[in-house]
Structure 1
Amino acid sequence: MKKIYKFPEGFWWGSASSAEQSEGKGNTGKGKTIWDHWFEIEKNRFFDEVGPDVTSDFFNRYKEDIKLMKSLSHNSFRMSLSWARLFPNGDGEVNEKAVEFYNNVINTFIDNDVKPFVNLYHFDMPMAMQEKGGWESKEVVEAYANYADTCFELFGDRIEYWFTFNEPLGPVLGGYMQDFHYPNIIDFKRAAQVAFNTILAHAKAVEKFKKHNLKSKIGIILNLSPTYPRSSNKCDVEAARICDLFYNRSFLDPCVKGSFPKKLVDILKKYEQMPVYTQEDIETIKENTAQILGINYYEPRRAKAKENVVNPNSPFMPEWLFDPYILPGRKFNPYRGWEIYEKGILDLCNDVKENYGNIEGFISENGMGVADEARFIENGQINDKYRIEFIKGHLKYIHKAIEEGCNIKGYHLWTFIDCWSWMNAYKNRYGLVSLDLLTQKRTVKKSGEFYKLLSENNGFEE
């Protein structure tokens, strides 16, 4: 007996990308970003030494790309604006050529009946701002708030959904804890400052947004991973709880509830890792929370009690308090090393329903990166049936979440066209459409054809 998975009317079927990963440099006089700078000084750290100069050349090809989206029945797409394109120095005068470009892009989306969701920041700090301290600096926070305010003024009449940040945890982990983003610092206290100031920047952007009295909504996109203990042993359960505090609640609570988890604050105080802040900052965060939540889900987290004593001479990290746990026999993607656990998306949605007021939300990223996809070419097309099964597996649980009352309005796949992916460059491909790096030719994969039918039928059967 086949089961039909039908989604609510008006469900958002689309995909997502970012400026730095798709646009290329263009000719608007875009300022240098931290990625441009890092690539200049350490090319060897990028897969095949491919940098962000061209990527998929969306800057020059946006008209054909948006038409292709429409032909694959997208009704929505999440893009990001480049702070460094609109403000080459991070602040000062807005770049009119960049304004013209983004006006054209937004209007082209609307003309093709693809709703643009606009994100303001996706890892791409202007280098001029990084030189002032990046997210460690309150001056940079103010410059970001001004950039956001300018975007609301310039484009707010046409955008229904705004997002302040995509995965703000990423630069915290990568730039200040785990060495996979510039500025490659290992210092948890500075990481905590970056996290706090990013949350403050989010709140200040929401505050600016409210003053424009727009009919749209503003939110944030968080990469969330349900955290599971190894066992029901109280030590494992507590370890998972602490892991969850650091990697989920640290952003979820202040951005949606307007307050920080007391247990997390107590831990940071105990280990002398608290950021610097004012009472005014706390009030700003409290009063300016997200109106919509994007959920990026790729993998679960699993934790167990510490098995060895911490080296007191090592830098403080959350893993002083728990060990990561690898589930024996797990299903996983060997190209990224990530566990594939479809039910995790249901657990996340229910968590948001039960603990965050069932805020309006959507799955803003979910996807599967696979290397060497040319292996799967059949009759000139990549037969990525593994991606189709991945999408279906997660959609079944999203469907169940909606049945259980979760306020989930859409599903955006990462990504539309194979994109440049930071240090990994084009090592793993995520797209519904394949990209030939040498010719920039786009070719729809089998998953692209599946996704077209998925949107047209507002669901699938199996």
Structure 2
Amino acid sequence: MAIYKFPENFTWGAATSGPQTEGWSDKSSFSIYEHWFQTEPEKFHNGVGPAVNCDTYRKYKEDVKLMKEIGLTSFRTSIQWTRLIKNFDTCEVDPVAVEFYNNYINEIIDAGIEPYINLFHFDMPIELQNRGGWESKEVVDLYVKYASKCFELFGDRVKKWCTFNEPIVPAEGGYLYKFMYPNISDFKRAIQVGYNTIVAHAKAVESFRKLKTGGEITIVLNLTPSYPRSEDKKDLEASRIADGIFNRSFLDPVVHGNFPEDVVELLKNNDLLPEYTEEELEVIKNNPIDFLGVNYYQPRRVKAKETEVDPNAPIMPETFFDYYDMPGKRMNPYRGWEIAPQVMYDVAINIRDNYNNIPWYISENGMGVEGEERFRDENGVINDDYRIDFVKEHLTHLHKGIEEGSNCFGYHLWTFIDCWSWANSFKNRYGFVSLDLETGKRTIKKSGRWIREVSETNQFEY
């Protein structure tokens, strides 16, 4: 057993999003997920959509009280574009939504918790998706109007802003692998979506700084470090390409202000470059983030192509590498993801050495488990020791990175309360707090009591 003590003022928190917790009540319009659920409810686990979910819209006071009770010092959620804005073209706000977000933010601050407010968490308004979504430069500009409105409305109190959560996911899910609306598979369109999202991010950062409301602004990237099967040069090349597509193509522009040359060359050689302007590249160059949010769940393991690529097949990322099923890897059987806590250290050192040692924090990390009710004791508490051990193990590797100079200042678990999770709905539970779907009752899990001790002492034993 060893004691792992974290730096002074290290922040302990949790993350969630508006569309996954608030519910539909009093919304101005629907997002792509709400539209998708209405049209194809069978695509959602047990046919459960986002209409009610945690009902945080009505129960935010109860939730904030629980956040304080489990010792959180920071908390990330998002504003819903579809709730706040009544008219996307004019950016007219819904006063009821403004009141809700003001009350919610104030409640968080009054509890002594710092709000980290995100502006986009996969919830593209269906009206704007029908105009092209992130493929459209018009939608980029409308997003910047919306972001600016949020800075104006709430920037006097919110001092930690986030433009996007996991901007690669709408590109992957909606335009490559068909696990998100609009369920298209077209690599070039996915690249345009990813590029336009970075433009929207940079323009929002530019607007934030012009408004001078104070505070800092970031983006949250889900980093999936790419590991080669072997040290063979072809495996290493496959790893470099995968890392470029899925990690560096987002990390480099938001920190360094430019896209990685090897990725640009790869896209150019395969006629995959997005439509861009020099003006857009200048905005990206001139608006780096203040700090970085990193969602880490699992690594990506790859190898060199072992079969000939069909010249008639559409180009996909996997045109350039194969996935490697590493023998003996630990798995979360419920989510189908590898458990590799040692990668947390590699992330920390990569940021230290290759990204200016920018201040950063773990904005999401967590373990989804199906059927947690079986771990509920006679007092109604879920004894999720497996989650405590999962977090401890990851934190030991993060601690090592911090001890070696990586500038990490916080850790957020996904998530505070069991929340609705897109097409998976409530299949897997992630929270410090359990949610009874029938009654809406909230109950602190064992992990919630544990994190309070960690937050109070800034250390844990493992």
- Same topology, TM > 0.5: yes
Q: CA deviation at 1:88?
A: 3.6
Matched, 1:181 2:176: no
Aligned with 1:84 (options 82, 85, 88): 82
SS at match of 1:302: strand
Q: Equivalent residue for 1:426?
A: 426
Task: Return the letter of the residue paired with 1:419.
Answer: C
Aligned mates of 2:89, 2:76 — CA distance in 1 = 24
Q: Equivalent residue for 1:459?
A: 459
Contact 1:89-1:126 within 8 A present in 2 as well: no
Q: Equivalent residue for 2:40?
A: 42
Aligned with 2:30 (options 9, 32, 37): 32
Q: Equivalent residue for 1:161?
A: 160
Q: Equivalent residue for 1:109?
A: 108
Task: Return the letter of the residue paired with 1:405.
Answer: G
Percent of residue pairs identical = 57
Q: Equivalent residue for 1:407?
A: 407
Contact 1:331-1:341 within 8 A present in 2 as well: yes
Aligned mates of 1:351, 1:362 — CA distance in 2 = 13
Task: Return the letter of the residue paired with 2:81.
Answer: W
Residues 294-327 of structure 1 show CA distances to partners (whole Å, capped at 9, x for unaligned) of 0000001111000111122222111101011121
Aligned mates of 2:211, 2:93 — CA distance in 1 = 19
Q: CA deviation at 1:424?
A: 0.2
Q: Equivalent residue for 1:264?
A: 263
Task: Return the letter of the residue paired with 2:152.
Answer: E
Task: Return the letter of the residue paired with 2:154.
Answer: F
Contact 2:345-2:398 within 8 A present in 1 as well: yes
What's the TM-score, normalizing by structure 1?
Answer: 0.98
Residues 149-184 of structure 1 show CA distances to partners (whole Å, capped at 9, x for unaligned) of 001101001012101000001100000000011011
Query: Mean Cα displacement is larger for which, 376-385 or 401-410?
Result: 376-385
Q: Equivalent residue for 1:121?
A: 120
Equivalent runs, 1:333-352 vs 2, <5 Å: 333-352=332-351
Aligned with 1:65 (options 34, 46, 63): 63
SS at match of 2:123: coil
SS at match of 1:316: coil
Equivalent runs, 1:297-446 vs 2, <5 Å: 297-379=296-378, 380-446=380-446
Equivalent runs, 1:120-139 vs 2, <5 Å: 120-139=119-138
Aligned mates of 2:366, 2:314 — CA distance in 1 = 33
Q: Equivalent residue for 2:72?
A: 74
Aligned mates of 1:90, 1:424 — CA distance in 2 = 29
Task: Return the letter of the residue paired with 2:9.
Answer: G
Aligned mates of 1:378, 1:392 — CA distance in 2 = 23
Superposed CA RMSD: 0.9
Corresponding pairs, count: 460
Aligned mates of 1:19, 1:299 — CA distance in 2 = 24
Contact 1:90-1:126 within 8 A present in 2 as well: no
Aligned mates of 2:435, 2:356 — CA distance in 1 = 41
Aligned mates of 1:402, 1:159 — CA distance in 2 = 27
Contact 1:307-1:323 within 8 A present in 2 as well: yes
SS at match of 2:173: helix
Q: CA deviation at 1:461?
A: 1.2
Task: Return the letter of the residue paired with 1:434.
Answer: S
What are structure 1's unaligned runs of at least 5 residues? none
Q: CA deviation at 1:89?
A: 4.1
Q: Equivalent residue for 1:292?
A: 291
SS at match of 1:144: helix
SS at match of 1:411: strand
Aligned mates of 2:451, 2:86 — CA distance in 1 = 37
Q: CA deviation at 1:111?
A: 0.7
Contact 2:152-2:213 within 8 A present in 1 as well: no
SS at match of 2:93: coil
